[in-house]
Copies of this chain bind each other. A is one copy, B any other.
Amino acid sequence: MLKEVIENDIYPIALGAGILGTGGGGNPYLGSVHLREVIRTLGPQRILDPRELADDALVALVGFIGAPTASIEKLSEGTELLRALRLLEEHLECSFAAVGIIEIGGANAMGPLVAGLQAGLPTIDADGMGRAFPEVQMLTFVFQGNVSPAPFVMTDAGPGSVVVPHVANAVWAERLSRNIATSMGASAGWAGFVMRGAQFKAHAIPYTLSLAHALGKKVLEAQARGDDVPQTIAEQLSGRLILRGKITDVLRRTSRGFARGSVTIEGFGRSREQLFIEFQNEFLIAYLDGEVVATVPDLICIVTEETGEPVTTEVLHYGTRVAVLVVPAAAALKTPAALEVVGPRAFGYQVSYNPVPGNRIGCEELLSGEI
């Protein structure tokens, strides 16, 4: 498992988290540039094994909220998450012992490392989704742990900040957060989900930062060896490749604080299969020649066909040669309670969840002997 993150770990994490983010979580390249800058200044970031988190330790989760399409144009100021964390401590008159990761996707896998380093706190090797999802209520901590998002804090790139002491429930927290994020330029820092170590350990998806890192290293090794990189990723994540092809159409709009749209990929094979994927920050559903072949909560990942690098929603464009993979979701996302919140119907698709075959390799299993 990762004990610390040094400069050499950043690129593997960005690659792995970019793939696990299923299109969302924020641009991995920008996230990695920022993390590199902070590590060069402040040194390595400590990573805390969740098993070592004390039961009564107070933790908060941090990440950026908004539309990835906005965050690549309106860059973050750099201390949004730190300021959110500090304001939350001030509001609660408490001190946190560690920083948690909301979603192990894209820049949001790296933001909690930056904030932890800036705040002098370790980042816990676990997250609340095992991937990225677009909305606040879509965390294991909500649908499994019943942890309240509030009090939570949001910060913008300027002096603006908002404290939300109470909300009726997590769906209201999402609605409010989204409109506040929109007011802040469709990208804002977010800190909340204050809980004790015991709660965190009971509901987090463990070792996902180590998973992202290990996956990224496998990608680099496969690139160096000249292996088939998308195939390597599929094997590492017990997923399967559903198409290799070229992006032939992208519809993408930034609307109500999300990047929404669809992408069409035409297969290289003689049959010219058409894969159509819809997204809301993250890839939600994939149709192959009109038939549903994958939906949330399973991970639909798009990578460059040759090098296996993640292609996130905000950088999809015509002509990119890509491979599309489907990866089984973590078991915690497949319970009936979870599917009500993160299944296809929660996103408005009137289809049942049909899990992709295979079981996701547990993180510990994947990581044994790897690092």
Interface residues, chain A, with chain B CB atoms under 8 Å away:
87, 91, 158-168, 172, 175-176, 178-180, 182-184
Contacts and interface: CB of A to CB of B under 8 A. Distances in A.
Contacts of A176: 160, 162, 180, 183-184
Counted per complex, copies of this chain come to 2
B165 A163 contact: yes
Contact of A160 (B87, B159, B167): B167
Nearest to A90: B165
10 contacts: A87-B165, A158-B172, A162-B176, A163-B164, A176-B180, A176-B183, A176-B184, A179-B180, A179-B183, A180-B183
Dominant secondary structure at the A interface:
mixed
A302 B21 CA distance: 56
B160 A162 contact: no
Nearest to A157: B168
A157 to B, nearest CB: 10
Contacts of A183: 172, 175-176, 178-180
B175 A166 contact: no
A367 to B, nearest CB: 41
B179 A168 contact: no
A164 B161 contact: yes
A93 B92 CA distance: 13
A160 B159 CA distance: 23
A137 to B, nearest CB: 14
A165 B158 contact: no
Given A91-B91, A159-B166, A160-B167, 12 more contacts: A87-B165, A158-B172, A160-B176, A161-B166, A162-B163, A162-B164, A163-B164, A176-B180, A178-B183, A179-B180, A180-B180, A180-B183
